[in-house]
Structure formats: C-alpha cells, structure tokens
Amino acid sequence: MVFRNLVRKSRLWIESKISETEFQSRMAQIPIARFFAKRDAEKIYDLVAGFVYSQILFSLVSLGVLHQLRGCSKSSIELSELNKINEKNMKILCNAAVSLDLLRLDHDCRYSLGRLGAEILGVPGLEDMIIHHEVFYRDLAEPIALLRSKRKTELSQYWPYVLSDKKRTRTSTEDAKIYSALMASSQMLVSQETLRLVNFGRFGTIMDVGGGTGTFLSMLGKKFQKPKLILFDLPEVVKNAPKILSKDLLSRTEIVGGNFDKNELPKSASAITLNRVLYDHDDHKVELILKKVWNALPKGGSLIISEPMAGGQRPIKSGDAYFGFYTMAMTTGQPRSVETHRNFLRKTGFREIRVPRGARNYVTKVVVAQK
C-alpha cells in the first residue's frame, strides 16, 4: 500500500511537470527526452486530426475509390471525372489518403491502392460498417450532449430491438431487413475468430441466440458437419434466414422466432452461443438473458459468449473508447471486461469459465462457460 501511494505521488509529480510549457521546452533540448516529446506530440496531433482521418476513409469508401483502383492506377483527372469532383479537391482527397496509407502515389503521379486500402477490400463487411458510421458520426457531432444524455440519437433508432419495452414499437419487417443486413455483413470477422477459438464439433446441438439471419450458424455449419443447429431471434428477423442458409444447412437447422424478453429458449441444445448480444444490453437484461440460457442448457452444457470487450483495469481503444461511445449512442448496453462477464456468469450459476487466447481481441473476445 505504501509503495502504491509512492508510485502514485511520483506519477502525479511527473504529470504536473510535463504539463508545464517551460518543462516541455527544456526536455526538447535533451536527445532522449526529445524523442519522447516528439512521439507524444505526434500522438496528440493524431487525436486532434482523428475525425478528419475518419472522414477521408468514409469519403473513399462512399465514392467507391478503392474499387475504382483495384488492380489498376488512375490519375487525379480520371478519378475526378469518375466521381464528379473537381480535380483540385480530388487531388487533396487522394494525397490525404496516401498519407494514411490508404492509397499510393506512383512516380508517374498516378494513384493506386495502398496497403491499408487493399486490406479494407479483403475484409468482409468492413465497407458496409464504414458507410454505416455516417449515422454514428452524426450522434458524435455534439459529444457533451451525448455524454449528458440530452439528445435523441440516431443509433438508438437504427437498432430498434435494443430499445426498452416502453420505447419499442413493433419491429417492422423493413427495419429488420436493414439491421439484419448490416449485422450479417459485419459478423464475418467475429465469426471467423470465434470458430478459430472454439471446437464446436464436440457439441451435439448448437443454438445461436440473437443469431440474426444465420450468418454465424452458416459459417459454423460449413466448418463442422456433425452438430444440429438452432437459430433463435425475433420473428421478423429469422423469417429471412431460409434465403441465407444453404439447402444442406436448412435440413440441419431449426429456426425459432421469439423474444427472450417474453419467451423461454428451446431446451434441446447442448451449447448456446451469444454473439455480440450481451454488450447491446444493460445489466438487468444481461442477467435475464443468462438466466434463460442457464434454464435452457442441460447439466454440463456450454455457453459461448463472443463480443467486443472492455479492458477492465487496463482500458483499451477498441473496447473502452470505440464501443464505449458506440453503445452510449445506442443508449443501451456497454462493453464489459472479462472479469465482469465472469461475475455475471458465476452469479447465474456457471462455474467452469475459461477465456481462449485470441489473436484479434479488437474484433472480439470469447468466454466459454459450463453449467
């Protein structure tokens, strides 16, 4: 305790000195201190300019520039004609994209894909999510009002299934199609990581709760031929699943329309998955969902939770910064740390809890619990 207090006091003294302009000027004269000062200045600059960077990316994706440059190169004149933007502004956009490694400027003043731009084209669903962020950006336009919960957000209307019973009107088929399509396209990376970390072939029947139109089960079913499958989600959502699932998977899949606010879950699964479900909901709803999962599982049955998670005592950019504000704009839910998930699971009755080590924690983390 004494040591911790000493460390805290030392850190506060250092931080107070760093915040002094004169101290920063003196440190800039010392070679090793100059290195850290320069690095920190660049980080601060990127924080200030971050919104501009995101809008450059948004513009490239919305205009389709990355696809226009796939496998070829074009001049700023050609790109300006394609996108109906004057050449001066097109060149500014392209050079900005080059600085972010989204595009590359060749020696003949022609533009081609940069490393990051090429990678974006190879990530399933990423372009859809980038375009969807137009809604999120509008909610972030007044961040203080958002923090004080003083404005109605667009994201809370975009995802109507997370609204409270008092606010929710019946989810229309059209609404269901819109957010189901985005969920399906953005689910690919999460599904790939989850399937890499968990051996689903050992289960007899797997039920995906809140599984949308069946993107995860479709990928699972292709990789693991043995398990029978159950898809559970809102009736307006799962009605579109037969269009997504192959004939072979449909023959192995039971599709169940329901609402875990009102309906019990089917009791025929030996494993239940919650993919990007719990972080959408507040604590009382999480307890309700876990209780219903517990009731539906047999003794020895498994629950697999896969979703973005916070860092707990060591906050992380993806979980605490990005998803923290995203769920704030949704007006419900929050990213939770692994330890918080453990506490919820133990409170429900789960005992054997493990966390497979993943390589892409910024995409999702997985917690496996046994009844």
- Alpha-carbon distance of 334 to 131, in angstroms, equals 22
pLDDT at 177: 56
Would you tell me how many other CB atoms lie within 10 Å of the CB of residue 164?
11
Residue with tokens 């859809």: 128
pLDDT > 80? residue 28: no
In the chain, which ranges are continuous DSSP H helix? 2-18, 21-27, 31-63, 65-68, 76-83, 87-99, 115-122, 126-139, 143-147, 154-158, 173-197, 215-223, 235-238, 241-244, 247-252, 283-296, 323-330, 338-348
The pLDDT > 70 percentage for the chain reads 83
272-317: per-residue pLDDT in tens? 999 999 999 999 999 999 999 999 999 999 999 999 999 999 999 9
Residue 217's alpha-carbon distances to 96, 191, 276, in angstroms, are 40, 9, 14
pLDDT > 60? residue 207: yes
Residue 20's pLDDT band (cuts 50, 70, 90): low
Residue 62's alpha-carbon distances to 76, 81, 89, 110, 343, in angstroms, are 17, 16, 16, 21, 42
Residue 353's pLDDT band (cuts 50, 70, 90): very high
pLDDT > 70? residue 32: no
Residue type, 271: A
Of the candidates 334, 337, 336, 341, the residue with the CA atom closest to the CA atom of residue 369 = 341
- Alpha-carbon distance of 188 to 256, in angstroms, equals 22
pLDDT at 178: 55
Residue 157's pLDDT band (cuts 50, 70, 90): confident
For 83, the token pair is: 């996108």
Residue 170's pLDDT band (cuts 50, 70, 90): very low
CB 271 within 8 A of CB 301: yes
In the chain, what are the domains? 2-122 (1.10.10.10), 127-370 (3.40.50.150)
- Alpha-carbon distance of 48 to 163, in angstroms, equals 33
Residue 36's alpha-carbon distances to 12, 18, 21, 28, 43, in angstroms, are 18, 11, 15, 9, 11
pLDDT at 18: 52
HSE toward the beta carbon, residue 348, CA cutoff 13 A: 28
- Alpha-carbon distance of 166 to 222, in angstroms, equals 40
Of the candidates 141, 131, 61, 73, the residue with the CA atom closest to the CA atom of residue 104 = 73
Q: What is the CA radius of gyration of the chain?
A: 24
pLDDT > 50? residue 55: yes
- Alpha-carbon distance of 204 to 268, in angstroms, equals 10
pLDDT at 166: 44
Average pLDDT over residues 9-33: 56
Average pLDDT over residues 225-235: 94
